[in-house]
Amino acid sequence: MLLEIEKLTKVYRTGVRANDGLDLSIDAGEVFGLLGHNGAGKTTLVNQVVGLLKPTSGSIHIDGHDMVARPGVARRLCSFQTQAQVPIDGLSPRQAIGLIGQLRGASKADVARRRERLIDALEIGEWLDVDAARLSGGVKRLVAFAMAAVAPGRLVMLDEPTNDVDPVRRRLLWGAVRRLADEGAAVLLVTHNVIEAERSVGRLAILDRGRVIAEGSPARLKANLGTELRLELVLDPRVTDTPASPFGRGVVSAGNRLMVGVPTDAAGAAVAWAESLERAGVAEEFTLGPVTLEDVYVAMVGGVSVRPAENEETFDASAA
Amino acid sequence: MPALRSYRLLVTWQAMRKKAYLPLMAAVQTLFTIGIVLGYPLLFPTIDQTAIYLIATGAPAVSMISVGLVALPQTVGEQRMEGSLAYMRSLPVPRLAYLLADLTVWLAIVIPGVILGVVVGAWRFGLDLQVSPLVVPAVLMVALTSTCVGYALASILPYMLTVIVTQAIVVFVFMFSPLTFLPNKLPAWLETVHRLLPIQAMGEVTRGTIAPTQFPLPPGAFLTLAAWCVFGFAVTYVAMTRRT
């Protein structure tokens, strides 16, 4: 594994335990997602890898090098897009990407070649020579990504790279992230955008209160939820009693939305049940689709009420 | 030389980041120095030649100190707040190169004022200065020391405290530091304090090299400055490399 993190713990002087015995490993060529709420400990983790923070205990190795003992090596081996927007006012994207590429040790010619490819891939050529002070937040974010990718280290860490980026260029950005991995870098992607992460990462870890509470491929994590489909009901706001799920799967409610786990072979019954709720005026509309990583995430991390599934016997198919 | 290459690239980065304001900052700093040279004598109904010499040769030191100990710590504090210092720290760049690059840009802002201040003073009051070649190391030493100490302040203090402390430094440097007057005008206790602080030494090396015929150059002054410079640099270096 290119990046190996073992039993990493970070306790701030305030007593906050931001990372609590984390174990993670990422291989070259892999896009690894780190998901979690604000304050889950994601940024603390990447700041320790790049040598800005010192772990309280535990170890971080990149390609066999001890990053805790040799933070200088860490800075050479990692390129980093920080969560906060790097102020580059006064510089154009061409200058900012070019200078950072050279500061990372690449030759001027290599930097120019890679910069051109990144600019084309992200379709930001029209802003190439505009002062960053006049750029939108989204374009600045893409420029910051290009600054991290123009002379990438063995490990590229991207902290919320898609913030403020428009939907079309988000897709381009994900393509560029994938190419970084295809070229041999390990990519650590920090995000709380679960839906996007599902499409972009090979493996991911969900972080909660400084601990890894789940790790694996999106498919595997979804399989662990024990259901294949999710029925989402938008309930009439006047309804006070949440209808009981007849499918023996977990029920998650968020406001007037109800998410119900449904086995694939009960798809017809689920539609019928939802239609009956619509006719009864309990539900305003419903959608049935495959379980998403967001369902897994919400079920694991919470933030909304999660109720245990009702008994299957309570479902009366004839009523549908 | 990777360190030299980093230094050159960082100077370009810093200069480009400030390019919209660099000429303006240099212009204001020049006006500030000339303003002291021309304005201070107006405070006195009559003024002797020694006082004129003191003002004309002290103004460059006041200007350099105001940049190094006031403007620079405030800017570095802002950079810490907005996260650009942390970003720079995540790059594979020697810390020394980063500090020297910053210093170079600040020197570019302050030097035109130092030169023009002296020229205008000599012209306005008909001073015979006979500037010594030692003025080059003297000016570099004053700028380097005030920059290093200023950097150290901004590195260890929270931003708001940096702003407050630098405001206090302004008052102290302008009103109670022997730059445009001799130390014996101060109360004895403050004279003693100034023997320990670097400000008096900054004034001594500046006036002792700009007007060597008028003022002696105390040999200990360079040593005092060197000690403060090393101290400021060490504090800054530790603050920049420290991982909390």
Tokens linked to B153: 């302040």
Average of per-residue pLDDT across B191-208: 94
Q: Which residue has the tokens 């003002």?
A: B55
Tell me if A150 sits within 8 A of A97, measured CB to CB: yes
Average of per-residue pLDDT across A248-266: 76
Q: Residue A115 belongs to what H/E stretch?
A: helix A108-122
**What local confidence, expressed as pLDDT, does residue A306 receive?**
39
By percentage, how much of chain A surpasses pLDDT 90? 52
Question: From residue B16, how far is each of A90, A143, A228, A298 by CA, in Å?
Answer: 6, 16, 55, 46
CA angle at B151 for the pair B147 and B157, rounded to the nearest 5°: 145
**What local confidence, expressed as pLDDT, does residue A249 receive?**
59
Q: Give chain A's mean pLDDT.
A: 86
Beta strands at A31-36 and A186-191: parallel, antiparallel or unpaired: parallel
Which stretches of A194-266 are DSSP H helices?
Answer: 194-200, 218-224
Per CB-CB distance under 8 Å, the chain B contacts of A13 are 244
Q: How far apart are CA A61 and CA B200, in angstroms?
A: 50
Best probe of the A interface among B90, B91, B241, by most A CBs < 10 A, is B90
Question: From residue A112, how far is each of A90, A101, A146, B16 by CA, in Å?
Answer: 20, 9, 12, 19
Q: Which residue has the tokens 């060597």?
A: B212
Q: How far apart are CA A142 and CA A165, in angstroms?
A: 7
- Which DSSP string corresponds to B48-109? -HHHHHHHHHHHHHHHHHHIIIIIHHHHHHHHHHHTHHHHHHTSS--HHHHHHHHHHHHHHH
Give per-residue pLDDT as tens, A38-73.
888 998 999 999 888 999 999 999 999 998 998 888
The domain segmentation of chain A, as residue ranges, is 3-216, 222-319
Tell me if A189 sits within 8 A of A197, measured CB to CB: yes
Cβ–Cβ gap B18/A102 under 8 Å: no
Q: How far apart are CA A253 and CA A305, in angstroms?
A: 6
CA angle at B217 for the pair B138 and B54, rounded to the nearest 5°: 85
Does residue B16 belong to the interface with chain A, where contact is any CB pair within 8 Å? yes
Number of continuous H segments (helices) and E segments (strands) in chain A: 10, 15
Selecting from B2, B13, B79 the residue whose C-beta is nearest the C-beta of A99 gives: B13
Q: Indicate if the pLDDT at residue A152 is higher than 90.
A: yes
Give per-residue pLDDT as tens, A214-233.
899 888 888 777 667 888 88
**What local confidence, expressed as pLDDT, does residue B174 receive?**
87
Tell me if B201 sits within 8 A of B141, measured CB to CB: no
AA identity, residue A129: D
Q: Give chain B's mean pLDDT.
A: 90
* Nearest-CA distance A53 → chain B (Å): 5
A148: closest CA among A138, A157, A136? A157
Q: Indicate if the pLDDT at residue A119 is higher than 90.
A: yes
Which residues are bridge partners to A286 per DSSP?
A233
Per CB-CB distance under 8 Å, the chain B contacts of A94 are none
pLDDT bracket for residue B236 (50, 70, 90): confident
Beta strands at A251-254 and A31-36: parallel, antiparallel or unpaired: unpaired
Q: Indicate if the pLDDT at residue A265 is higher than 50.
A: yes
Arch. (CATH architecture) of A3-216: 3-Layer(aba) Sandwich (3.40)
Give per-residue pLDDT as tens, A186-218.
999 998 777 777 878 899 999 998 999 989 988
Cβ–Cβ gap A86/B87 under 8 Å: yes
Q: Residue A235 belongs to what H/E stretch?
A: strand A229-235
Q: Which residue has the tokens 């995430």?
A: A297
Q: A221-225: which pairs have CB atoms within 8 A and are 24 or more residues apart? A: A221/A293, A221/A296, A222/A291, A222/A292, A222/A293, A222/A295, A222/A296, A224/A296, A225/A250, A225/A261, A225/A291, A225/A295, A225/A296, A225/A299
A50: closest CA among A30, A29, A28, A70? A70
